[in-house]
Amino acid sequence: MTKENYKEQIKLFQPKLPRFMNGIKAFFIGGIICLGGQVVHNIYQDFFQLSEIHASYFTIITFIVITTLLTGLGIFDKIGQFAGAGTLILVTGFANAIISAALEHKSEGPVLGIANNMFKIAGSVLVYGVVAATIVGIISMAVNHFWV
């Protein structure tokens, strides 16, 4: 049996994925999360008289806390199963990944379990983020230096 024959035979037994509906759900749930972020941002600006940048910082902190609480209660995972990629919006997806890893290894103790395993997932994201930011910063400095 060749690889192509095998692939053709197993197609009969694989479930059909509702890709269109998954995309619609991800789009709307992601949009609801973003809309919520904008509402929270506006509340910080209007009711607490924060500047745009400070309101942005507090909005991010608020969404990290909400995601952490929902992940700890097991609610965020249910939302993620329904919405799929719609919950991977920057801050919520990153906070969920860190907290999920921490909860998974909490039986190993606070240092060797939670702290050690929490940054296995986040570590690579942080490293690539810092490297990408450095490269973009160097390119930006070079462009501004030579063309301005």
20-79 pLDDT per residue, tens: 999 999 999 999 999 999 999 999 999 999 999 999 999 999 999 999 999 999 999 999
pTM comes to 0.72
Looking at residue 148, what is its pLDDT? 62
Ordered alpha helix ranges (H), the chain: 3-10, 19-47, 52-72, 75-83, 90-104, 116-147
Distances in Å between the alpha carbon of 40 and those of 47, 54, 66, 85, 109?
A: 10, 12, 12, 22, 35
